[in-house]
Amino acid sequence: MVGNIDQAKFELLVEVCALINSNYADGKALVSQIIESSSRLVGAEAASLLLYDPVAGKLRFEIALGPKKAELTGRLIDPGEGIVGWVVREGQSLIVNNPESDPRFSPVISKEVDFPTKSILAVPMKVKGNLVGVIEAINKTKGRYFLQEDQYWLELFALQAAIAVENARYLEKTSLELSYLSDKAQANSGWHNLIYASSAMAEKVDLVDRIAPSEASVLILGESGVGKELFAERLHRASKRAAKPFVRVNCANLPEPLLESELFGHVRGAFTDAYQDRKGRFEVADGGTIFLDEIAEMPLRLQSKLLRVLQQKTFERLGSSETVTVDVRIVTATNRDLESMVSAGEFRSDLYYRLNVLPLYIPPLRERKEDIPVLAEHFLKKAARETNKALRGFSDSAMENMLSYAWPGNVRELENAVERAAVMARQELVGSADLMIGGKGQDIDEFRGKNLRDAVNVFKTYFIRKSLELHGWNQTETAKSLDIQRTYLSRLIKELSIAQPKE
């Protein structure tokens, strides 16, 4: 304890505490401010902030000041290693003014970074008795030694710094969860509702409600556009995880390196544009459910990483050796034949069996035609509000056409067709001509005699062309309606040789 309070030090302490408490909304700015303030407060030549990872059980150099800061940042050390490790193990501050003769000092780091250590002051950061990290000051600038007075002021500062770091962590996690929930709410005005009239769909909904309380993985199967994501939503809402995040990822939208970063996160410097650490979707979904759509498109290398999450609930961020532990329920979906892909060596068999614990097949719209009228009416009401038209329903001929059409794009195509019809309609009842789907519709025969990949390409070509027509060949709007990135849509247009007809 200091007998006479140093007024200048006290004013500096108030100043730096105010700075960090105004910066905790920006995690990177906060740690930078903490370490700069520590160095100013005790007059140190260099300083480091090490944060404790309770899952890995290690300390990480979060940020450092001094001539060798780049070599230190990101380095991991074990509790008990060196002066900082001793502080962690004992839970108390330590001044070492002659480190070379102190058995607790580890010269390894000092030699590796070629920075002579003459004196050390290390102070633990705690919140409610739990370790947050350690502030380490190196080499006193005025005078050779750190004093008890320096320890006193740094301990006072460390109390505020620890609270600020914990606030920043909580704010980051909360902000990520809220951003996903907010995006979903804005896009969907809340959760989707399953709309159906058929007994086939009633059976599927009943099955979902029965398996929802389970923690087992669910694989949702069915053609594109049948509503697999809606069933994934219902699984989550009916589970004990309903109050936690529901996070969607489309595995076909991103190339392998970006998909890995999206799922598992990355650390600063992991790749060219990785300017700061970023949590992946698995961390955001912690405690809740993650829905991996188009799982068949996941590259084999990432399949092994996903398998580990299923088995051990652990992974590492891209560019990091630190292990992250999460508690998530994994729900996947695909429109492809995974068994055939396993036989062809395109999908891991061990992963397939782990994902396929509870399979859920959603029938195509052509096999549950009773759902077409109620779905069409629902989409028409929505489109009428958006177009500000007083549309009462469909003419008999329009409904007959919809019931006879094969709907290769399923519910998604039906929604697009009704949306287009609402725009084109000139009367209160939508007519056949407004739908523009053809009297008998596209017959499923055109898919016969083709292997799965060719048949999928036929469908993709048809569906993408129809979507482009619906949106006036505006690729940005079409990509939004298909829930894919514009760059991915452009690549599909090129691969499938889809050309806009000349006027």
Taking only the tens place, the pLDDT of each residue in 102-158 is 888 887 776 766 677 889 999 999 988 888 889 999 888 887 789 998 898 889 888
pLDDT in tens, 279-337: 899 999 999 999 999 999 999 999 999 999 999 999 998 888 889 999 999 999 999 99
Range list of β-strands (E), 320-380: 323-325, 329-334, 358-361
Q: Which residue has the tokens 């399949």?
A: 303
CATH 1.10.8.60 describes domain 366-495: yes
Q: What token pair was written down for 118? A: 């003459």
Question: Domain 7-167 adopts which CATH fold?
Answer: Beta-Lactamase (3.30.450)
The answer to whether 150 and 185 are in contact (CB under 8 A) is no
Contact 300, 320 (CB under 8 A): no
Quote the pLDDT of residue 189. 41
Q: Which fold has domain 191-361?
A: Rossmann fold (3.40.50)
* Those residues with Cβ within 8 angstroms of residue 358's Cβ, 6 or more apart along the chain or in another chain: 211, 214, 216, 217, 218, 219
Q: Where in the chain is the domain with CATH 3.30.450.40?
A: 7-167
Q: Where in the chain is the domain with CATH 1.10.8.60?
A: 366-495
User: Which tokens sit at 140?
Assistant: 């006193």
CA distance 65 to 337: 55
The b-or-e profile of 323-355 (16+ CB within 10 A means b, else e) is: ebebebbbbbbbbbebeebbeeeebbeebbebb
Are β-strands 246-250 and 289-293 bridged in parallel, bridged antiparallel, or unpaired? parallel
Pairing of strands 120-127, 94-96: antiparallel
In the three-class reduction of DSSP (H, G, I as helix; E, B as strand; rest coil), residue 412 is classed as helix
Partners of 330 in beta bridges: 290
| pTM, rounded to two decimals | 0.54
| pLDDT at position 190 over 60 | no
Domain with CATH 3.40.50.300 in the chain: 191-361
- Digit-coded pLDDT (tens) for 34-54: 878 888 888 888 888 888 866
